[in-house]
Amino acid sequence: MKVFFILIAMLFFSIPHSWAQTGNGISADQKPNTDIDRVKNVVYIELLGNGVSYSFNYERRLADRLWGRIGAGYTPVLFARLAAFPVGVSYLIGKKSKFLETGLVTTFAYADVDALFDSEDKEEFGVILSPTIGYRFQPQEKNLFFKIAFTPLFTPFEKKFFPSGGLSLGYSF
């Protein structure tokens, strides 16, 4: 499993260098202005989805249609607390301001459960893998960002699958 995390980290940090040239003889300054080229950063809140209940996220365009994401969320529930940290990549397919978004997110989760009947508190760390497919709306005229996605959650250590979805709203710049 350690090798898996090292490979994912190497992939995540090497992607911006993989597409350094446009490949079609046109420099980056001569490319036509499209919505996807205009926006480089997005900040948003996601309800449900990869952050389990909610998360605050930052996305950065890594290449032409490839985006990297990092986020954090915290959920206090009656006798438990859950901290979730989604990290992932996504690829956009589409034109103008409407895109099909596909991606893979790894959520690092930490749960702290208060002892109700036991004398010991329980702390657990887990990893949640989540493929993502959804609709992304990001218009050029305004800085609005909206996304709705199907984000099934898979816990590889426990081998459990949970269907899930997320709704995101934020600001692109």
Residue extents of the structural domains in the chain: 41-168
Looking at the domain 41-168, which fold is it? Porin (2.40.160)
- Percent of the chain whose pLDDT exceeds 70: 75
Contacts 24+ apart (CB under 8 A), 152-157: 153/50, 153/52, 153/107, 153/128, 153/129, 154/128, 154/129, 154/130, 155/126, 155/127, 155/128, 155/129, 156/127, 156/129, 157/126, 157/127
- Digit-coded pLDDT (tens) for 112-122: 877 555 557 78
Task: Check residue 126 and give its pLDDT.
Answer: 92
Taking only the tens place, the pLDDT of each residue in 19-32 is 444 444 444 444 54
Q: Of 30-34, 65-69, 106-110, which range is least confident?
A: 30-34
pLDDT per position as a tens digit, 91-101: 999 988 999 99
